[in-house]
Amino acid sequence: MENDMSEALAQLNILNKLPQQLTKEDIINKHLPTVDHWEDIYYKYSHSMGFSVRKEDARRDNENKEWQRKWVCSNKGFRREKWTNLKNRKKKPRVVTCTGCLALLRMKFDKSENSWVVKDFNPTHDHNFALKTDMQFLRSNRAFPDCMGTQVMSMRRSGIWTFHILNHLAAERGGHEYVPSLKKDLYNWIG
Mean pLDDT by 10 residues, the chain (191 residues): 64 72 86 88 84 87 91 82 73 75 91 91 86 73 74 88 86 81 77 72
Same domain, 118 and 150: no
Same domain, 127 and 61: yes
The parent domain of residue 43 ranges over 2-141
Same domain, 180 and 125: no
Closest CA to 148 of 170, 116, 131, 129: 170
* Dihedral pair phi/psi, residue 70, rounded to 5°: -140, 135
Same domain, 117 and 152: no
What H or E segment, with its residue span, contains residue 92? none
* Dihedral pair phi/psi, residue 154, rounded to 5°: -65, -45
pLDDT value for 2: 55
Answer whether 37's CB lies under 8 Å from 11's CB.
yes
Distance CA 162, CA 126 (A): 39
